Every structure is written in structure tokens, then in C-alpha cells.
A and B are shown apart, each in its own frame.
Chain A
């Protein structure tokens, strides 16, 4: 039946609020390399990036968790090397990230270069980079500032985790330690020796690592042709092979994501002298109210549901109580009904 008894909600009965919900996201290196024998790693014929899933990607249960790619600026010394593999694509990848996250600069509209600081003053530029793009599924609205951590193996190819380097955005917080660009806020990734080795864009969910993270690692990659440093790998190996090398050295990634929940709270005020009777057919027996013996008895009804209606009496949202709530003329109730968006 249609409800015909309503209480009006005016502006003073409605409040809005914002809630931030955080989840801890641990990505262990064994998923990235090992657990599923790389059946959870998807490579593409275009060869521009590599996708990592949390389960063999041919399964419908698999979730995409992040992509990996590498690139360098065209001014990088690597692009001028002889016999560079996928040179144009590596430059294109770098430019794509930089133009979206940093935009263009100068009268010639050159793309900005990533920098290992927050100044964007073309000092301390990061000409060669590794890009980790995290899926919206796990970053939700953004990565929580000050929670990002990535541990890289800097040992030999055969024992990459004999030495490790952990990069964290230790100086970033909601109020300081970040810079704002077209790609949103970004913070610096410090290694344990307090040197910036990369940056992380929180809203975009992108971590950008400098190749300096692997300085001193002579066998960053090992293939049938032999071993190579990260610079040699960027030059002579494909993007896919470079991504494989990085995954081989990825021990752990953790961060907290953030979901922003906007809520409207409707204060449903039930006056003491109203809603003490019910149209429920069981409320009467032979037209006599069951909860009363004589007319001086206090009427009582029990609330189980609150319906929120539009001006034209359409049910827009409904809230249920966990248990029946007794309503009689001796109590006045305020039901706070929250609707999340």
C-alpha cells in the first residue's frame, strides 16, 4: 500500500559529511614474480607496458593490480646510444606520463621532466624512469599520503634480495611534503639513506622510480646474452624485458588507499505525540487496539523501518533498524539516517 503519513524534512534536518575510509594494501613480491609462474603477467603485442594481476589473468577471478613500464626523456643519454631497442616507444612512454602528470612548459611547450624534488625547477631531473601504475581497484580515490613503501632487491641477479633498498614517502602528509601538479599531489620517495629515489602521485596512483635506485647493481638483468646494468637494460632490452627485470627485484609494495565517502544525514525527528499508532492490520483485533485494554492506556507502536521520500511521495531510500524500536507518547526519538554517495 502507499504510505500517506509523512513528516517533512526541511533544510535544518539535513546535514552533509565526508568520511575517509582507508584500507591497507600489501603487494608481496611473490605475487609479482613467482607464485603463478608469470601466468598472472600479461604482455601485449604493442610491447609498451606489462600488466600484473593477482591471479592468472585468464581466470575470471583475476584482478588487475598494476602496470609496469619504463621510459626516458629524449634528452637522456640513453636515447642517443647505438642499437637502442624500442627507442621511440620508451621516449613516448616517458612523454605520455610527463604530459599528463606535469604538463608542458616554456614557450616551446616542451613536456616537463620528472624531478627528484618538489620544485619543478628543472634541477635534479629524472631522465630515465620506471613507472608503476596502480589500478583504481586498489588505490580507490587516492593513495594515502605518507603510507607508500616499496622494497627493491639490489643484490645480484641470482640473489636479488641479499641487499634491499626501501623507498618511502616519509616526508609526505596531508598538510605538507607534497607538491601539486596537473596529475594531482605528488611526494618524494626517500631511500633509507635519505636520498630521493623516486616520486609518487597520490591521486593518479602512479609511482615513478629513478634508475638511480639500482646504482651499483651491475647485473640488474640477466639473459642469454649476459648480464647488464639498468642503463644497459634500458638501452638494449625491450620494455617488456626491462619490466621482467624489475619484477625480479620487487620484494614488497605497501600503501594505504583512501575512499572518500560523502554522506547526507537526515535527522528524522519523531515527536512524542505522533506515530504512536499503526495501520498494521495486526494492530487491531475487532477494531480494538491490541496494545490497550482501556482508552487511558498508553498507545505504543514499534518502528522497524524509515522510508525517505521525494516530494511526489516516491520512496527514494530506505533504512532498517536492527531491532524494533518502541515508540509511545513518553519518548521523542531522533533517527539519524545516513545516505552515502
Chain B
């Protein structure tokens, strides 16, 4: 008779993070919840075609070496495991930036791989609006409900015409019924550079139910709500922005979904991002960016700061590269 295997539970040694140590020193240390992470795992290694059977599907994943614990909070859990209780999910949503020029809303496209945000502090006889002209898409960088914005969509991106297709019924059964639709998103931004984020205003609509299934919607902006959620990156703050229902559907005749959406499948929601440049940016260009640089296709020189804005829903995440730009000469 062999000994009973009593290794049913696992003991782990935890290390305090910088923030944990700081709070201990302040006497405000307390732990009330936990989360689970799998950041090291590459699920692409899951081999459903392993010739030896299902017991071997995750052979490579189980051999993944795990990093030691870090003490910086931004090196903790980046994505995390999800508490969804449904076991019959086959699809999970993702987020994508929509830069379709055929979409009649105030969206902007990347120029040189980044989205431009205007800073008027360098304006003189020539303004940044004049300089960028129609060559470079950009957002205002100010609080303005009519400003242009970065548009993003969420949904099941299985491919146009692939199952499940992007019908209203599939949106309900695959997304709404499984609680996979985020109605708000957290937007994390560098608070040294931006004072806040404008997102889609309540009441914005996004549909292709116009005449002959043309676009029928309005997207205006409203300031996001400051949030306390911490991304763990120094100097980053968060705003919560609302999302509009994405009612771009596959239609039986004159299917226009590909003209208006980059999600090939049931769509969840759509959101807008227009960062508001902090007033008085000046030394920051030297500290965190570059001054007097040329931009391909434009005359003159510019001061620029490149930064990343992070968008997060309950499952989906998005990293959007922005460039703050002002006229130098």
C-alpha cells in the first residue's frame, strides 16, 4: 500500500512589493483580496493536434519556466485570469483601432505609426493646425466635444463571413448573454503630459442601418471620469470613459459591415479616445521628448513627445501610441 499523496494544496512564499513596504512603514498595510496571473504563458504552445492525445496538449505549457517575483507593482499581473463561470465559451472579444477612411465620423489615422495630438503652445504666425493641414490627422488636444478622436471597437474578430458572423442575433447570444460587453473602459495616460481623456459622449450611436445599410450614427466626445484604478506605471492616471453600442451588423443585401468596422464578427461596443494636452507643456519636451525635429512630409521643425495610452476593459486591452506635437520653427 503506497502512501497517500497529500500534495493537494500548495504553499507559496510571497514577497512584498514596493507599495506594500511603503504601506507597512505608514501603518496602512492590509490585504483583502487576491488575483491570479499567467503572464509567462504562451497559449500558442497548446497543441491540440499532439499525436499522443489530450494529456500531451499542454506538455510545453507546463514546462514554461516561471520568473521570480518582482517587487515593483507594474511587474505584477498584467492580464490575469478571468472569473467567468461559463464553461461553454469558445470565443472571447478583442479590441482593435478603426482607421477606416470610409467611416463618416471624426476618427483619425496614424501618421508614421502614431496618432498625433496637437499642442498649440508653439503657435505663432504659423499654427500647428496649418502645419499639419490635411497631411497629418490629429486630435485637438483640448476639451472639445467636436474634436477628432481615435476610434476603437471591441467584439469577436473571427473574420468576416466566418462563424460566428456579425449579426445582431450573434451579438446577443455570443456577447451579451455571456456578459462579454464592456460598457465602460479604463484609459491610462501619463499625467505629466495629459490632463484627462475625452471619450464617447453618452448617446453616441454607431450603426449601419441607414438607407441601403449606410452608416447611421453620431460620435461626439465628453470628458472621462477620473478613476482610482492604478496601472502600476509611474505618473500614470486613469479616466473611465463610456462606450457606445456597436450596431454595425452583417446584412443580407448590400452588406456594408466591412466599410465601417474592423471587427470581423459579432461586435460589442465602440469607443473614442481624445487625450487633452496638459496646459503649459514646455520643459517636458526636453525632458521626455525631442525638440526641433523634422517630420516627414511637413515643413519646419517641431517639438514632440511620444507616449502610450492604455485602454482596458474587463477582458480586452489596447495600447495606443500617441505623439504630442507643437511648432518649433
Contact = CB atoms under 8 A, between A and B. Distances in A.
A306 interface: yes
B64 A315 contact: no
Given A288-B158, A316-B17, A283 B90 contact: no
Given A1-B312, A278-B41, A305-B77, A318 B32 contact: no
Interface in B41-63: 41-44, 46, 48, 57-58, 61-63
B293 interface: no
Interface string A141-170: 000000000000000000000000000000
B238 to A, nearest CB: 8
B32 A319 contact: no
A288 to B, nearest CB: 6
Interface string A275-310: 111111111111111111111111111111111111
B273 to A, nearest CB: 16
B10 A325 contact: yes
B84 to A, nearest CB: 5
A316 B19 contact: yes
A256 B64 CA distance: 40
Given A299-B89, A314-B73, 4 more contacts: A277-B89, A307-B77, A312-B228, A336-B9
B17 A303 contact: no
Interface stretch (A51-59, A93-101, A266-274): A266-274
A303 B36 contact: yes
Interface in B21-43: 23, 29-43
B28 to A, nearest CB: 8
B33 A7 contact: yes
Contact of B312 (A2, A273, A321, A336): A2
A315 B17 contact: yes
Interface stretch (A201-209, A214-222, A326-334): A326-334
A335 interface: yes
A289 B77 CA distance: 20
Given A2-B230, A275-B82, A315 B33 contact: no
A280 B34 contact: no
Nearest to B236: A2
B5 interface: no
A317 B85 contact: no
A338 interface: yes
Given A2-B188, A307-B76, A334-B9, A289 B31 contact: no
7 contacts: A8-B32, A276-B84, A279-B315, A306-B34, A315-B20, A319-B14, A333-B9
Interface string B151-164: 00001111100100
Contacts of A325: 10
Contacts of A301: 38, 81-82
Nearest to B75: A318
| Chain A contact patch, size range | 35 or more
B130 interface: no
Contacts of B93: 287
A223 to B, nearest CB: 53
A316 B16 CA distance: 6
A326 B15 CA distance: 23
A139 B77 CA distance: 39
Contacts of B135: none
A4 interface: yes
A3 B41 contact: no
A318 to B, nearest CB: 5
B70 interface: yes
A337 B20 contact: no
B76 A276 contact: no
A301 B76 CA distance: 18
Contacts of A6: 33-35
Contact of A9 (B15, B31, B58): B31
Contacts of A315: 17, 19-20, 73, 76-77, 232
Nearest to B264: A286
B11 interface: yes
Nearest to B67: A320
A21 B315 CA distance: 44
B10 A333 contact: yes
B88 A304 contact: no
Interface string A238-264: 000000000000000000000000001
A282 B317 CA distance: 12
B111 interface: no
B41 A304 contact: yes
Contact of B15 (A286, A293, A310, A318): A318
B77 A278 contact: no
B12 A317 contact: no
B19 A291 contact: no
B23 A336 contact: no
B186 A2 contact: yes
A308 B43 contact: no
A287 to B, nearest CB: 4
B73 A280 contact: no
Given A298-B87, A303-B37, A319 B12 contact: yes
A300 B61 CA distance: 12
B66 interface: yes
B39 A336 contact: no
Contacts of A8: 32-33
